[in-house]
Amino acid sequence: MLDGCTPWPPELAGKYRAEGYWAGQPLDVLLRDGARNHPAKTALVGPTGTRWTYAELDARADRAAAGFLAAGIARGDRVVVQMPNIDDFVVTIFALLRVGAPPVLALPAHRESEIVPLCELSEATAYVIADSDDTFDYRTLARTVTKAVPGLRHVFVSGDPAEFTALPDAAPVPLDAPDPGEVALFLLSGGTTGTPKLIPRTHDDYLYNARASAEVCGLTAETVYLVALPAAHNFAFACPGILGTFAAGGTVVLAPNPSPDVVFELIETERVTVTAVVPPLALLWMENAEWSDNDLSSLELLQVGGAKFSAEPAGRVRETLGCQLQQVFGMAEGLLNYTRLDDPEELIVTTQGKPLSPADEVRVLDADGNDATEGELLTRGPYTLRGYYRADEHNKRAFTEDGFYRSGDLVRVLPTGHLVVEGRVKDQINRGGEKIPAEELENHLLAHPLVHDAAVVGMADEVMGERICAFLVVKGETPALRDVTTFLRARGVAAYKLPDRVEVLEEFPLTTVGKVSKKALGKLLEED
């Protein structure tokens, strides 16, 4: 395996292979098989109305792969990909899989303060972007990033490349299949620390992730899956998402954004059957469905995950949107929990599902480290990482000796095996499914000239689940919220990480061991 990655121990790898969890195939087989078995079937509908068959998409991926090779991208190179929901995103990912140059999946919302460290950590040789979307010109960002990261040799652009290089396209060349045990791509962790963490996903593990998810979600060749979330997010990409839909021979439809008017129109015109959202979007869609004239009757399944979906709105999905709900409690690190299609309504509404695979090992430990029915969730299995990329020190804390990943999530296990997410022990804020590592944001705040100390905590919010409150100890003058967010934006921090509120204290409450007590800070917000 690529240097800096932690392989599964041979006994477990042998078991996963022998028991058929790992198929021993490269991930791009999902597209190759589709092109062979049903070449004329529509694989991808782009946001500008492009419709590509499996054969066309497969051929485009081959041409782009040949182009990347000709441009000097070699097997083993890492390539940071940051694209909105456009057809070239899918082409680029499959092309890089074929070259064997693992893509690093950045989100469109990321800015300089996220992209630069990602390029550095991955030692990326290339950065692939779209020229712009409705709100942002990615070439501006690329100019800053290339200045800051000398190792970045290429910037490829879908659309107008300006001074950069257009997405490559060349006559297909024969390609050696990658080793299925090798890293196929890197996902970003939601993170809890000051620096980004990369999650290596192998061909074997991610292929299983996609195929098993497609099966548990009942996808078939009739499935029309709408990508409403960012395509680069694990949920929309492979749970079952784009990859799972290809595995089933269905059609993927890319939505340029998740606003109700855009997606409702697409659901009607493309006869969408499945889609995935985070809870605030589910609420927005449910509210808007009441007024909408669009015919949503094709929709069979709405997956909701990324943050806790409360039982009350969960119980109203069927009556408002006319489809079945599936709760999904997943993580880019691996483990996926799904409510099953044939679960009793009560479990679908009140739990976050149960593990996808019979080979998922789940442990729940109480605060003293004893097995319990309520406590921190630890897991290992055929599609859960064994270590973050190049993060030896962090890995010692994030994993047990025997390779269980400490999720930082607090869960309760029911006798059926279903999990209810009750909270977390990790220092992260979950703002409507978007993850903010507390330490990272605090470090940015500490750079503000008026800030002496900073501690960020989540404050309960009916729609978002949580919003961000930044507690500050200041040097003299108190900065207004607006000053703080302007400062953070100027540092290139993604918009979803900006505080919603600033509170100034004389000093921070401390725990008995002298650390800032986030619990006490949270209490201050509750009393408010």
The contact set with ligand OOB (CB under 6 A) reads: 190, 234-235, 239, 305-308, 327-332, 336, 352, 407, 409, 421, 424, 430, 433, 435
Whether 76 contacts 100, CB under 8 Å: yes
Backbone angles phi, psi at 436, to 5 degrees: -120, 110
β-strands 405-413, 419-424 pairing: antiparallel
Residues 334 and 168: their CA atoms lie apart, in Å, by: 32
**b/e code 458-490 from CB counts within 10 Å (16+ = b):** bbeeeebbbbbbbbbebeeeebeeeebbebbee
Which residue lies nearest ligand OOB, judged by its C-beta?
330
Select 69 or 183, whichever has its Cβ closest to ligand OOB.
183
Nearer to ligand OOB, 235 or 487 (CB): 235
Q: Tell me whether residue 46 or residue 191 sits nearer to ligand OOB (CB atom).
A: 191
Q: How far is the CB of 519 from ligand OOB (least distance, A)?
A: 18
What burial class does residue 148 get, using C-beta atoms within 10 Å of its C-beta: 0-12 exposed, 13-18 middle, 19+ buried?
middle
Q: How far is the CB of 114 from ligand OOB (least distance, A)?
A: 14
CB of 5 to ligand OOB, least distance (A): 18
Tokens representing 285? 């869609």
Neighbouring residues of 163: CB distance < 8 A, sequence distance ≥ 6? none
For ligand OOB, give the closer residue by CB, 52 or 309.
309
Q: Which is nearer to ligand OOB, 409 or 503 (CB)?
A: 409
Beta bridge partners of 365: 371, 376
Task: Give the shortest CB-191-to-ligand OOB separation in angstroms.
Answer: 9
Task: State how far the Cα of 468 lies from the Cα of 501, in Å rounded to an integer.
Answer: 7
Q: What is the DSSP string of 459-512?
A: EEETTTEEEEEEEEEESSSPPPHHHHHHHHHHTT--GGGS-SEEEE-SS--B-T
CB of 158 to ligand OOB, least distance (A): 25
Residue 385: CB minimum distance to ligand OOB, A: 11
| CB of 328 vs ligand OOB, minimal distance in Å | 5
Q: Which residue, 105 or 421, is less far from ligand OOB as judged by CB?
A: 421
CB of 73 or CB of 255, closer to ligand OOB: 255
